Amino acid sequence: MAQGDREWYTQFVCDSVARIREITGSARAIVGISGGVDSTVAAVLVHRAIGGKLIPVMIDNGLLREGEIDFVVSSFEGLGIDLRVVDASSRFLARLAGVRDPEAKRKIIGEEFIRVFEEEAAKYQDVRFLVQGTIRSDVVESGTSVEDVEEDAKQDTGDQRPAQLVKSHHNVGGLPEQMDLELLEPLRDLYKEQVRLVGEELGLPKPLIYRHPFPGPGLAVRVLGEVTQEKLDILRKAQAVLDREIIKSGWYDRLWQYFCVLPDVRTVGVKEGGRTCGHLVAIRAVLSSDAMIAKWAPIPHDLLDRIALKITEEVPQVNRVVYDITSKPPGTIEWE
Ligand code: XMP
């Protein structure tokens, strides 16, 4: 049975479920859900094995897109999984107040996430495992040598069993070092495309499995400079318009990522005969296969025209829209 076969994924799920049950016994496990593909597939796989003994937690850091929590919660509901949402948005925003440096923002968001997650985990008894959606590329990026991974890959056989489910040391994904939990990483040996096929095997809806990546620090790296509630609200509204137009046009599946950026630049405009001083919104849309290199996407002019029109019509604080025509390199995908 080769890894490209449907049966391989059926077998993978079956073997993983058995192994996870064997490893966890009667203990409970906790998982942080980001809304991304990897944590979702890992959670659903572990839920298949241990049901209600898995505690899935989603932290609302106040930096998510409009409708994101509802989308993820209802997707999990559809799979019969009760997702707990922790609203920590005011904590994150308070800690970000006055901070302009992109790396400082990332650090604060990472630290705060750990704190909130630890506080949440401490509320439950008998939690012994932390589930993470670590995949093979994370292992390579986190310092395990490429040779190790390639050596592992050579040993992959058609009927390979999920061998390395538990790693005793912490920690690839940035979760608490000092938490006394064992790491359960059921997707550690898989590449992204394989994770998606496991997701299909588990019956996850396609919009969840084929979502574009979204950065952990969320909209904080798309509101340039200081993050404020007001700027987040403007960016969220503009992003919702962009989402609607990109999906309607059929471009979603052709793009690697697309998003709005609020560079905190005011420009002069004109509306109903009077001058305005409004925000500039930049649109970024790229083609890529791994985010290492990316080409700006040749979105048709009439679609760009419609996006600019709709954003300026529907988001009153915005009076100018520009399109980013920089590839990576020399640009990065995100602006911060
Ligand atoms: P860049 O901007 O470096 O982004 O070209 C490459 C990919 O990584 C995502 N990205 C992040 N993801 N935390 C994340 O989880 C981050 O701090 C972060 N910064 C960038 C970006 O969206 C793109 O997919």
Which pLDDT tens digit goes with each residue over 294-336? Answer: 999 999 999 999 999 999 999 999 999 999 999 999 999 999 9
Residue 221 Cα to ligand 1 middle (Å): 9
Q: Which H or E run contains 313?
A: helix 301-314
Q: Give the number of C-alpha atoms closer than 13 A to the C-alpha of residue 298, restricted to the C-beta side.
A: 0
Q: Which residues contact 2 (CB under 8 A, 6 or more apart)?
A: 8, 158
**Who contacts 266 (Cβ-Cβ below 8 Å, separation ≥6)?**
277, 278, 279, 280
- Per the confidence metrics, is the pTM higher than 0.95? no
User: Which residue's alpha carbon is at the smallest distance from atom 19 of ligand 1?
Assistant: 215
User: How many angstroms separate the Cα of 301 from the Cα of each of 216, 248, 287, 308, 323?
Assistant: 31, 15, 17, 10, 10
* Helix axes of 301-314 and 229-249: crossing angle, nearest 10 degrees: 140
CA angle 208, 31, 52 (to 5 degrees): 90
pLDDT tens for 202-221 read: 999 999 999 999 999 999 99
Ligand 1 atom closest to the Cα of residue 213 is 24
Measure 171 CA to ligand 1 centroid, in angstroms.
Answer: 19
CA distances from 38 to 41, 123, 141, 226, 253 (A): 5, 25, 15, 30, 19
Taking the C-alpha atoms of residue 254 and residue 268, their distance in angstroms, rounded to an integer, is 34
H runs (alpha helix) in 184-228: 192-201, 206-209
pLDDT at 71: 96
Q: Name which residue sits closest to atom 11 of ligand 1, judged by CA.
A: 215
pLDDT of residue 147: 44
Q: How far, in Å, from the CA of 116 to the mean position of ligand 1? A: 22
Q: pLDDT band at residue 173, thresholds of 50, 70 and 90?
A: very low
Q: With a 6 A CB cut-off, is 263 part of the ligand 1 pocket?
A: no
CA angle 92, 98, 99 (to 5 degrees): 70
Q: Whose CA is nearest to atom 6 of ligand 1?
A: 291
How many angstroms is it from 53 CA to the middle of ligand 1? 32
The pLDDT mean for the chain works out to: 90
Q: Determine the pLDDT at residue 176.
A: 59
φ/ψ of residue 81, rounded to 5: -115, 130
The answer, yes or no, to whether any atom of ligand 1 lies below 6 A from the CB of 291, is yes
Ligand 1 pocket check for 211: Cβ under 6 Å: no
Q: N- to C-terminal Cα distance for the chain?
A: 45
Among protein residues, the one whose CA lies closest to atom 18 of ligand 1: 215
Among the ranges given (108-112, 142-146, 214-218), the one the predictor scored with the smallest mean pLDDT: 142-146
CA 334 – ligand 1 centroid, Å: 6
Q: Is 102 in the pocket of ligand 1 (CB under 6 A)?
A: no
pLDDT, residue 134, reads: 95
Cα 67 from Cα 45, distance rounded (Å): 25
Please name the amino acid found at residue 234: I
Cβ–ligand 1 distance for 106 under 6 Å, the answer yes
- List pLDDT tens digits, range 194-204: 999 999 999 99
Q: How far is the CA of 336 from the centre of ligand 1 (A)?
A: 9
Q: 95: part of which helix (H) or strand (E)? A: helix 89-96
Cβ pair 172, 27 in contact under 8 A: no
Which atom of ligand 1 is closest in space to residue 328's alpha carbon? Answer: 5
Structure tokens that stand for 161 in this block: 């069993």
Residue ranges of domains in the chain, CATH in brackets: 3-209 (3.40.50.620), 222-323 (3.30.300.10)
The response to whether residue 333 sits with its C-beta less than 6 Å from ligand 1 reads yes
Q: How many CA atoms lie within 13 A of 21 on its CB side?
A: 10
